[in-house]
């Protein structure tokens, strides 16, 4: 049953993002989501959401492009009339040791994983009423990586955790909560190879599933999480325990 609320998921066409889109739609939200490539996959996800009874909007938008970020928020509000929940999941994974790390990979990581996250939040809360929900998808690498070559990615995710902690103070007067989910090794097409390589560090001896991350996002988007803000919640099978 539709609950009258609208969610926007940046980076929602695959993996964890797609699982969040489907979960929020299942919770009754109308859902817009952005994608960069594979329009066929994005259209298929939108069709699945609509078959299940919620409205969906697939938006082509590169999170490295500030104008595209703002346009995605505007398109969502223009299509559905409001914005209640934003999930910032868009990100890139560029690994490499410091002696050979490319400047273009550094710039892209910061542009999407840090600047893009801030700009998505800034654009979304400008169109959001009181009591909205902001959720970022970080990484447990902000706490510990366990292997060489991940310094830039970990830095970007640590920046998100710190950003969320402090933006909570900016948004509190409007009763908008903001929280950060930090998944560990999760089976997605972007991280499958790395996740399998780090499985040995997971005490539960398995990889996470996108639906498990989506379930935490669902709770944070709901009324029961109204007293939690500025937090980073790690969901990683005990990797950083």
Structure confidence by residue, pLDDT tens digits, 6-45: 999 999 999 999 999 999 999 999 999 999 988 999 999 9
HSE-CB at 79 with a 13 A cutoff on CA atoms is 19
Residue 170 inside a domain? The answer is yes
Residue range 187-203, pLDDT digits in tens: 887 666 677 778 888 99
Task: Go through 30-64 and write b for each residue having 16 or more CB atoms within 10 A of its CB, e for each that does not.
Answer: bbbbbbbeeeeebeebbeebeeeebbbbbbebbbb
- Whether 163 is in a domain gets the answer yes
Q: What is the CA 211 to chain-centroid distance, rounded?
A: 13
Q: Residue 67 is part of which domain span?
A: 6-235
Degrees to nearest 5, angle at CA 190 with 40 and 229:
100
Q: Is residue 80 part of a domain?
A: yes
1: in domain: no
Q: Name the β-bridge partners of 6.
A: 30
pLDDT at residue 1 in the model: 73
Specify the pLDDT at position 10. 98
pTM of the model as a whole: 0.95
Sequence-distant (6+) residues with CB within 8 A of 146 are 198, 201, 239
Q: Please report, for the domain that includes residue 163, its CATH number.
A: 3.40.50.720
Two tokens, residue 99:
């002696």
Hey, CA dihedral for 96, 101, 102, 108, is it positive or negative? positive
Q: Which residues pair with 178 in a beta bridge?
A: 134
> Three-class SS of residue 66?
helix
Torsion angle in degrees (nearest 10) through CA of 93, 94, 98, 102: -150
Residue 38 in any domain: the answer is: yes
Per-residue model confidence (pLDDT) at position 161:
98
Give the strands of the sheet with 177-183, arranged side by side.
Answer: 56-60, 30-35, 6-10, 85-88, 133-137, 177-183, 232-235
What mean pLDDT, rounded, does the chain reach?
95
Q: What SS3 state is found at 69? A: helix
The answer to whether position 220 is within a domain reads yes
Q: Which residues are catalytic?
A: 153
Tally the domains of the chain: 1
Quick check: is 147 in a domain? yes
240, 143 Cβ separation under 8 angstroms: yes
In terms of phi and psi (left: phi > 0; alpha: psi -120 to 50; beta: otherwise), the region of 132 is beta
* pLDDT on residue 163: 98
User: What whole-number distance in Å separates Cα of residue 92 and Cα of residue 188?
Assistant: 13
Say if residues 78 and 72 touch (Cβ distance below 8 Å): no
Give the pLDDT of residue 197.
Answer: 78
Residues of the chain with pLDDT under 50: none
């Amino acid at each position: 049953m539709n609950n009258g609320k609208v969610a926007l998921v940046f980076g929602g066409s695959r993996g964890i993002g797609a699982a969040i889109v489907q979960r929020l739609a299942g919770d009754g939200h109308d859902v817009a989501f952005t994608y960069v490539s594979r329009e066929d996959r994005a259209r298929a996800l939108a069709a699945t959401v609509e078959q299940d009874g919620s409205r969906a909007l697939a938006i082509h938008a590169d999170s490295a492009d500030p104008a595209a970020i703002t346009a995605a928020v505007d398109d969502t509000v223009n299509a559905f009339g409001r914005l209640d929940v934003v999930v910032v999941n868009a990100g890139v994974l560029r690994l490499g040791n410091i002696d050979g790390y490319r400047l273009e990979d550094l710039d892209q990581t910061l542009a999407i994983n840090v600047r893009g996250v801030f700009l998505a939040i800034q654009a979304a809360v400008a169109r959001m009423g009181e009591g909205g929900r902001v959720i970022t998808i970080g990484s447990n690498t902000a706490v510990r990586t366990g292997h060489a070559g991940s310094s830039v990615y970990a830095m970007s995710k640590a920046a998100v955790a710190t950003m969320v902690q402090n933006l909570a103070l900016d948004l509190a007067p409007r009763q908008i909560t903001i929280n950060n989910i930090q998944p560990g090794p999760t089976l997605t097409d972007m991280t499958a190879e790395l996740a399998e390589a780090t499985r040995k560090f997971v005490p539960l001896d398995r990889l996470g599933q996108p639906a498990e991350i989506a379930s935490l996002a669902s709770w944070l988007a709901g009324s029961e999480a109204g007293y939690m803000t500025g937090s980073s919640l790690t969901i990683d099978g005990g990797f950083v325990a």
